[in-house]
Amino acid sequence: MNMKRVYYEDVRFFTSGVVFFWFVALLLFLAAFPFLFKNYYVYVANYIAINVIVAIGLNILVGYTGQISLGHAGFFAIGAYGTLVLMTKAHLPFLVALPLSALVAALFGFLLGLPALRLEGPYLAIATLGFGMTVTQVIGRVGFFGGRQGLHAPELSIGPWNLSTDRDFYYLLITITILLTLAARNIIKTRVGRSFIAIRDADIAAETMGVNLVFYKTLSFALSAFYTGVAGGLYAFVLRYIEPEIFTLLRSIMFLSMVVVGGLGSIMGSVAGACLLSWMDLQLRNILNIPYLGEWLKTLSQSFFSITGVSNIQFILYGLIMILIMLFEPLGIFGIWIRTKKYWKMWPF
């Protein structure tokens, strides 16, 4: 019997052959996706991938480090505008402009992290909220950023490849998403991520064990902002047109709800939460097309739930689903996943 212990197994990614199998299966599915579904769903997948990146970034801050942010739409905007401005005004190639603008977002994240050293909970929420709203206001008033008119994304080409369709862009986006997801997972499993979790669970103990609170709290903000900035830069090319109205407080709250619905402190949860909520966001409006029921729901919402008389049943359902998930599974979708796994562990016995 081999008694020697391989310590790497504690942190290795492929904990078993089954995990490896599913990972390869997922990669194959993602690679084949544009050929299996029509173009609109490729756009949906792009939209979801953007939100996955943001949700992971935000989860590093909220779920792992235990800080809160209601201003991530601000970083999202900095990433989007930064990338477009660097490309159109400074004529930098996309693959330089994107990380550069994400680094600018990270710098702002670092600056926003400084007040976070003294603020907690609701106070920090308000401070970050102020940041997010300020960014949108400033961008909307500066002519250099297109003002209220917004900016158009230039033609995107990397080397010899021209990525002008959703389908082409999909592959770039999915590659970046997978790399960022794996990177986040690795960071969480190693020294930096452990320090984040330690700060969340017992900050004074973490400090007396040698964790520099100032450094790691601001690093968490910067890293989270970096992810969001990358997502923003990519989002500019999913929409091909950006304006200040896209980066509102509502979007910050959307991001936060993805993280919470998915499961705080879980990379898998962030992915699941982002998938579910962005899919619901795009698909729930189709509920009105269901025969009979759709008509009925429409009249119902028009006569009882709406002030303006416009049907808003999709938003009501959206909220309802979120409330139900939180009510029955406070750990979010990740909690459901853990319970399912436990339930099937001994199958078929």
Chain contacts with another protein (rule: CB under 8 A):
5-8, 10-12, 183-184, 186-187, 189-195, 197-198, 200-202, 204-213, 219, 223, 265
φ and ψ at residue 152, rounded to 5 degrees:
-100, 140
CB of 195 to another protein, least distance (A): 6
Nearer to another protein, 31 or 183 (CB): 183
Nearer to another protein, 52 or 236 (CB): 52
SS (H, E, C) 254-309: HHHHHHHHHCCCCHHHHHHHHHHHHHHHHHHHHHHHCCCHHHHHHHHHHHHHCCCC
CB of 214 to another protein, least distance (A): 8
Nearer to another protein, 8 or 343 (CB): 8
Residues in contact with 86: Cβ distance below 8 Å, sequence separation at least 6, in sequence order: 92, 96, 97, 100, 101
CB of 19 to another protein, least distance (A): 15
Asked if residues 199 and 188 have their Cβ atoms less than 8 Å apart, the reply is: no
Give, in degrees to the nearest 5, the angle at Cα 46 between 42 and 50: 170
CB of 108 to another protein, least distance (A): 18
φ and ψ at residue 305, rounded to 5 degrees:
-100, -15
CB of 189 to another protein, least distance (A): 7
CB of 267 to another protein, least distance (A): 13
Q: Which amino acid type is present at position 91?
A: H
Nearer to another protein, 26 or 90 (CB): 26
Asked if residues 241 and 152 have their Cβ atoms less than 8 Å apart, the reply is: yes
H or E stretch at 178: helix 166-189
Asked if residues 39 and 170 have their Cβ atoms less than 8 Å apart, the reply is: no
Nearer to another protein, 12 or 141 (CB): 12
Nearer to another protein, 140 or 265 (CB): 265
Nearer to another protein, 189 or 298 (CB): 189
CA separation for the pair 151, 293 (Å, rounded): 40
Q: Which two tokens stand for residue 259?
A: 């993280």
Greatest distance between any 2 Cα atoms in the chain: 74
CA separation for the pair 91, 241 (Å, rounded): 18
CB of 59 to another protein, least distance (A): 14
